A and B are shown apart, each in its own frame.
Chain A
Amino acid sequence: MLELRLVQGSLLKKVLEAIKELVNDANFDCSSTGFSLQAMDSSHVALVALLLRSEGFEHYRCDRNISMGMNLNNMAKMLKCAGNDDIITIKADDGSDTVTFMFESPTQDKISDFEMKLMDIDSEHLGIPEAEYHAIVRMPSSEFARICKDLSSIGDTVVISVTKEGVKFSTKGDIGTANIVCRQNTTVDKPEEATVVEMNEPVSLQFALRYMNSFTKATPLSSTVTISLSNELPVVVEYKIAEMGYVRFYLAPKIEEDEEETKPQV
């Protein structure tokens, strides 16, 4: 038996909007500590990890660890039927092959039930070790989204370089090149507008803008985004979900030309 009641239903809607573009089908894993998801995109270049801790739910009941395979597009379709202020309850019975989303309007005068078929998804879990990143950049999420959008109109690859001065996003395309530098800036009125660069070592990595752009679909979830970079590690783009958890996107860097051959043939 699983019953999760989320007062801020719009949050779940936003989460789905954030990840459905990247991943089609995924297993949601529910345990007594929270509601989580880990999935790779179909090309195995990016990975999304979602965690909604149980404390963030108004009511959280999960008797057994359960893994529910869902088509995220279908789930998003159903969640779209929920109003932004609705309370969403996710319910599933043990051994059932469906999950029910219940939407209650804030005034309690409308209650909708949507039952969705679950699917058997054969996905494997990846172990993501904690790592010390060479550089961690925190910036307004809208700013990051804007940069990615702008750069993707010029080129398809972004080079993110972090130096003492700040973080530089650059791209190169047929029509020319673009460089955007964001300097560290902590003297703002609101802390969420700050750009903070913590750097232990200079880092410069290349990423496909296509993926970055789909990560920025999570922008509504959080006003800030944290980008953690290390040479030879996937970048982590993290959107914190207030008091509940996070959505983290991992993206494998592009490999320099001469190393192309060493690309793992997994």
Chain B
Amino acid sequence: MSQTETLSLIQEIESLVSDQLQVVSYKWLSRSYLISSNEAKRLLHEFVEKHEGELEVVYALSGWLKSTIPSYHIRLVTGQKLAEAQQEFDGSCSVQVYSVQTSIPKDPAVLWNAEFIQAEELFKQPASVDNCLRDNRFCGISNSSVQRNVDGQTAVSTTPQIKTVAGLAPTKSNIIPQPPKNTVHNSIAKVDLKPQNMVKDVKSESNGTGNTGVHVNINKPTAEKEKPLPLPTGKKKIQADKSGSATGNSLASFWARPSAKPKPCSVPAENSNMITNPAEATENAQACPHEAEEGDSGDDDNQGVTLRRSSNRKRRVVFDFSDEDEDEVVVNLASPDVPSKQSSQDSRQNDMEFSEKATLNFDVPIENKSMVKEERATEKKVFQPPREDLSVINKCTNTGKSSTDKLQSSTPEICVNKDSVKKATPGSPKRRKVMKTRIDERGREVTEVVWEGEETEAKKADTVTAKKADTVPAKKADNTASTNAVNSAQATKKPAATSNTTGKGGSKKAANSKDPKQGNILSFFKRV
């Protein structure tokens, strides 16, 4: 990096730190300015030298501890405690600047908030975008046996899909994911998840998908179930345009904020990629789900931790779907024939609870039900209406998106299921505003605020299901045509993040209704 560049970057850092009071960490710096992490550390170091004493520095120490049991330790310490902390290390330890900020935040989460959001943004980008996180280009550590899938879906969605492929009909070829992905996914997922802003929904997602992977085999019909979610088609187009701003992304794209890189619409390209290697996919298919699940469950913990830190000012409870779910998954795998029973159960539930649930009732397995209960219990505590809903829905589309197409795994349905459960939360009003998110034909995520009525919705859903059953192919063609393109377009995590950004908007939108022409500031500025 040339001298001038360095200088200008240092100035940037200065303004970020002193004017915007941002915590600038080397990770954030590296991703924002597309420099290698080492370069970023060096810059920060230089910056710190220049501004000695004017700001607070957090150092990352790593080395062997002096304790009896040798353990390798990485520790973040503030400038004042640096020397003290160094004493605890055996021999020499590496000292690198982790971040600079004007003051040491009370809540350590603030330290990685910025980079966290940034990572989230990066992962939210359409899967085809080869950003620095996906290809790991700035990381000093790489594993040659890991293949990165740039166009890919994440582990979560991959699993069900593959399954379907394995278990089901031949039509699949167009959606078939590339086999190598799976492995990659697991590894990537691990990496991803940590920085991701996975609000609890994501978590449930991963569990949910674990489950779904199982169901997929069972029921083809479910594939279409997800569709009721989408809004009237007329609106689709429009929504498409909105989607960006609705999620706050488009604004970001205007401004190319480092944390929110513009997202090129390169969806179609990917599509073609997607189609590759059907044969291989099937081969691998059977093996994959387990792997993927493992990956998921492993991540749960991570997520749990990060989730809490995800939102700036709010703390939220994180669902812990613990291991039972996974167990259940395993069970399911073994005996995938339960559907009929479930469906009846489910439909019963449907009656009580409204919404798209009806649409899914096909094969929500028993375990699922229990999970649902669990969720309900927790739900009461956590209930945060719009955000939650939104995110859940997001989740659906999200998973739906990745697996969509003809056979759409049952992932969406599970999500929807949960979703509906949420809505059914005791004490929820009969009609309420719900954020619906789906993918339009151009591969963009569309979020819409809809009034959801209890009875009407249930009915609708029922009829839809019925209809669907009849006209499956036709409908499919309709609805999925659009989703096709999108298919694997975006990384699974995207919605979660989106939900964060959009979450609140729904409820407040009304205020704006006075003047339809008046723009909304939220479409320009992103929530941090």
Which A positions have Cβ atoms within 8 angstroms of B?
31-34, 36, 40, 42-47, 51, 62, 64-65, 122-131, 206, 208, 232-234, 250-257, 260-266
Contact = CB atoms under 8 A, between A and B. Distances in A.
Contacts of B449: 265
B521 A252 contact: yes
A63 B242 CA distance: 43
Nearest to B250: A264
Contacts of A130: 255
Interface stretch (B152-160, B374-382, B507-515): B507-515
Given A124-B312, A254-B515, A265-B246, A47 B521 contact: yes
Given A47-B525, A234-B521, A252-B518, 15 more contacts: A36-B21, A45-B518, A65-B106, A124-B504, A125-B312, A127-B528, A131-B254, A208-B518, A232-B254, A250-B521, A250-B524, A252-B524, A254-B518, A262-B241, A266-B505
Nearest to B117: A127
Contacts of B244: 264
Nearest to A250: B521
B270 to A, nearest CB: 25
Interface string B492-525: 0000000000101110110110111111111111
B105 interface: yes
A195 B522 CA distance: 31
A266 B238 contact: no
A31 B21 CA distance: 8
A65 B313 CA distance: 13
A65 B105 CA distance: 7
B248 interface: yes
A35 to B, nearest CB: 11
Given A33-B102, A264-B242, A123 B313 contact: yes
A123 B525 CA distance: 14
Contacts of A33: 18, 21, 102-103
A43 B527 contact: no
Nearest to A125: B528
B526 A126 contact: yes
Nearest to B511: A43
A253 to B, nearest CB: 5
Interface in B216-248: 238, 241-242, 244-246, 248
Of the four ranges (under 10, 10 to 19, 20 to 34, 35 or more), the interface on chain B belongs to 35 or more
B106 A254 contact: no
B259 interface: yes
A63 B527 CA distance: 26
Contacts of B448: 265
A204 to B, nearest CB: 15
Contacts of B524: 233-234, 250, 252
B486 to A, nearest CB: 20
Contact of B256 (A32, A125, A129): A129
Contacts of B516: 260, 263
B50 interface: no
Contact of B527 (A127, A255, A256): A127
Contact of A264 (B18, B245, B257, B504): B245
Nearest to A94: B106
Given A44-B511, A65-B105, A266-B502, A124 B517 contact: no
Nearest to B527: A124
B266 to A, nearest CB: 21
Contacts of A253: 519
Contact of B520 (A45, A51, A232): A45
Contacts of A250: 521, 524-525
B238 A262 contact: yes
Given A126-B527, A126-B528, A252 B520 contact: yes
A46 B512 CA distance: 11
B161 interface: no
Contacts of B255: 129-131, 233
21 contacts: A31-B102, A33-B21, A33-B103, A34-B21, A65-B103, A127-B526, A127-B528, A129-B257, A131-B255, A233-B255, A234-B521, A250-B525, A255-B518, A261-B241, A263-B519, A263-B520, A263-B523, A264-B522, A265-B449, A265-B505, A266-B509
A251 B521 contact: yes
B447 interface: yes
B519 A45 contact: yes
Given A124-B528, A127-B259, A262 B518 contact: no
B399 to A, nearest CB: 23
B512 A44 contact: yes
A261 B518 contact: no
Q: Which 9 A/B pairs are nearest by Cβ-Cβ distance?
A: A266-B505, A264-B245, A252-B519, A126-B525, A264-B523, A129-B255, A43-B511, A129-B257, A262-B241
Nearest to B508: A44
Q: Select the residue from B106, B521, B522, B526 with max chain A CB neighbours within 10 A.
A: B521
A196 to B, nearest CB: 23
A11 to B, nearest CB: 20
A262 B238 CA distance: 6
Contact of A261 (B102, B238, B502, B520): B238
